Amino acid sequence: MNNEIRSIYFETSAVNYLFDNVFNKRDFSSIETKKLQLQKQRRWYISIITLWEIFLTKDQDRRYNLFDFSRCLFYDFLIPSPEEIIINYIKSGCPEREAPYEFKSQSLFAKEWAFACKNLDYEFQPDREQIESYTHHFRFIGEYFLKVKKGYRLRPLYASNEASNKINSAYLQHIFKYLLEIHGGTPDENEKHFIAVSLQLTMIILCYGIAFDQLTIEAFWNKDKQMEPLERLEYTIKHYPDIFFRGPIVNIAKMIIMQSGNKSGRGVYFDSLHAIYTTYSQLYVSNDAHFLNYKMFNSQDPNMHKIIDVKDLQFFTP
């Protein structure tokens, strides 16, 4: 008998599909399905990103119903946040293959989610104005990458004046050239694009801490001493250079690059964060064409075979 626990990740579009097309029928019970999957050693995971997108649902009734449905169907603990996965990967030494660790998030929403799953009378809904304000910044990040057609042409995240703008640009160009040297060989335009996006994502998430789970990032950096963002970047390049070329940040970068030829969409950055879980799950379930395209775009990655269309799932009545 195989007692291996299987982690199955459901991206937000798959959650919506199940809610609208499967569990809206009397034949299927979300609570009973959850019990059955746990008996079979299967954990149906969602993430902080999934919950965040559910909380962005404008219709109040649908928002609550999606939340209530999700806690009845999906595992009682959230899958680790992208930031938790990134930090664990760094602490592990950026290995080609990570050792197993407890897959239980301690991030934003994690405690509330676990309590809500065990106590169905409990409901939590973050303040919508606050969550929409944060979302504006995350969507801007997606637009930022899509608007830079030549990804190797770096731009600073912000600059207070023309002089600092030039200094920051020169500094980033220096860092970029150094990463090209680490990469080795003669990188073509696609490789330059990839390295540039990876560099900027590392700056945004790891160095500036612009993230859903910012506390995890800040706890990592502030354990010993305070560091400014550019100090963090220098430290990362010195101690964790592999983070730019493999691992979770690379998953985010590849998804952004795949969509870089399209018009800017609201979900680019959200999609890219979801893409981390193609590595950290046994199956990745989606109803989003972007992920099926991602599977083809990134076909040399063995993790791509994990991506399945939610419509291919089969449900049976007792």
**What's the pLDDT tens digit per position in 48-72?**
999 999 999 989 999 999 999 999 9
Q: Binning pLDDT at 50, 70 and 90, where does residue 154 land?
A: very low
115 and 183: one domain? no
Number of C-beta neighbours around residue 29 at 10 A:
16
Tokens of 229: 């963002």
229 and 284: one domain? no
Distance CA 282, CA 137 (A): 31
97 and 243: one domain? no
Task: Choose one of 218, 242, 259: the last residue of a domain.
Answer: 259
Instruction: Flag whether 284 is in a domain.
Output: yes
15 and 118: one domain? yes
Range of the domain at 14: 6-130+267-312
Burial class of residue 64 (count of CB atoms within 10 Å of its CB; 0-12, 13-18, 19+): middle
18 and 123: one domain? yes
Question: Positive or negative, the Cα torsion across 10, 16, 22, 23?
Answer: positive
- Mean pLDDT, rounded, for 91-117: 91
119 and 191: one domain? no
Distance CA 240, CA 139 (A): 28
Q: Binning pLDDT at 50, 70 and 90, where does residue 262 land?
A: low
**The predicted structure's pLDDT at residue 178:** 80
Instruction: Flag whether 139 is in a domain.
Output: no
- Mean pLDDT, rounded, for 106-131: 89
Q: List, for residues 242-259, the tens digit of each pLDDT value.
A: 999 999 999 999 888 887
- pTM, rounded to two decimals: 0.88
282 and 252: one domain? no
Instruction: Flag whether 242 is in a domain.
Output: yes
215-233 as b/e, with b when 16 or more CB fall inside 10 Å?
ebbeebbeeeeeeebeebb
Angle at 50 between CA 266 and CA 63, to 5 degrees: 85
- Mean pLDDT, rounded, for 197-217: 90
Greater confidence (292 vs 280) lies with: 280
What residue type is 256 in one-letter code?
A: I
63 and 105: one domain? yes
- Ranking 85-99, 137-151, 227-241 by mean pLDDT, the lowest is 137-151
252 and 280: one domain? no
Task: Choose one of 214, 229, 259: the last residue of a domain.
Answer: 259
- Mean pLDDT, rounded, for 102-106: 90
Q: Binning pLDDT at 50, 70 and 90, where does residue 166 land?
A: low
Average pLDDT, the chain: 84
Distance CA 78, CA 115 (A): 11
Q: Binning pLDDT at 50, 70 and 90, where does residue 153 land?
A: very low
Looking at the structure of the chain, the number of domains it has is 2
Length of the chain: 318
Instruction: Flag whether 271 is in a domain.
Output: yes
- Ranking 173-177, 189-193, 227-231 by mean pLDDT, the lowest is 173-177
302 and 155: one domain? no
Q: Binning pLDDT at 50, 70 and 90, where does residue 146 land?
A: low
Is residue 237 scored above 80 in pLDDT?
Answer: yes
Task: Choose one of 235, 259, 283: the last residue of a domain.
Answer: 259
- Mean pLDDT, rounded, for 10-20: 96
Tokens of 246: 């493999």
